[in-house]
Structure 1
Amino acid sequence: MNSKQLISSSSLIHFLFYVVLFLTSTTISTSYADGNDTDHHSLLEIKSMITSEALTSWNNSLHFCDWIGVTCGKWEKRVTRLKLNSQGLEGSLSPHVGNLGFLRFLSLSNNSLQGTIPQELGRLSSLQFLYLSTNKFSGVIPVNISKCSNLETLSLSLNDLVGSIPKEIGSSPN
């Protein structure tokens, strides 16, 4: 092999290395967008209304599925569980929680969250478990929680809520 062939072989290897690196980084960024930009944005909006050291991992250095308290589905990489009970959360619950369309489990119990419970929770048709007890939520229990047709457990005790739990919760349609 002469020196010209050696240089061209070396150049080809470098070229292929950069092509593979480019394709890998493109795949990673695409999979992040697929796995889901709406959930990512919604979680950041939730964080923006809450103060707690527990949410320091909620930043762009990790995929949101790796954030503390967040669990995503194995295949779709959408948020299915948000478990932040007893984390010293203060502030209010963002209406953007209603954009987590694959959410099945939401537990924010035993914190210091206040304000009203967002009406947007009613958009979570996959929600099965909702734990908001032992906070400082006030106002009326949102009637449209009854739109959470898969809701099995609802815990709202030890808040400053008024009204009653909508009759439709737990009943099956005729």
Structure 2
Amino acid sequence: MDYYKLRITGEKKVWRKYFTYAERFFINEEETKFTVAYFKNIENSFTIEALNDKGIVLNESDFFKKKMAEFSVIERILFVRKSVLNRAVFTDIKGILFNEVNVRGKFSDSYLLLNFTTAVNCINESKSIKASFEFFSTLVLDKSKIPMEVDGFFLKDWDKYGGFSCIVNEKLKDTLLTLEKAKEFLIFDRIECE
């Protein structure tokens, strides 16, 4: 079974037509880190804030040429615009939940956050190299520690700031790629497993 680190494109040609979000989540008006909410088993909906070059925007109509992206990330956690996420294609996928993600203010749509039921450290410490910059790092997973009962999980203890990385298997990767515009936004970096 192949495993992939899921991330989203940073290409300017893709993002020039979409607005972005502040790098923070809120639950009940209180700012929180995703990992803190995860370990408290909080299943509430999250709120995020839209940004333009002047700061926080509370009304979608204030964006003249930009629109809400089909996919986005905060703290490397993926969320999918509700209108493009067909939950029916995920019925055979094990180990995922979807949390509501609302945009603060007046917006025509909201998001669903791809939340995994499992967060583990399955890093092969002897083969992995953790450098200051991601592109100098080499992540190798320990096959014996990979949770086989789920199709995706959060990898913990790889990010030096305590964040998660989204890891998906081939089945979940193929399912995500069936969503509208997924091929434009989503990147799957194959991870070596030993």
Q: Which structure features the higher share of strand residues?
A: 2
Q: Which structure features the higher share of helix residues?
A: 1
TM-score, normalising length: structure 1: 0.27
Larger relative contact order (Cα-Cα within 8 Å, sequence gap ≥ 6): 2
TM-score, normalising length: structure 2: 0.25
Bigger-Rg structure (1/2) = 1
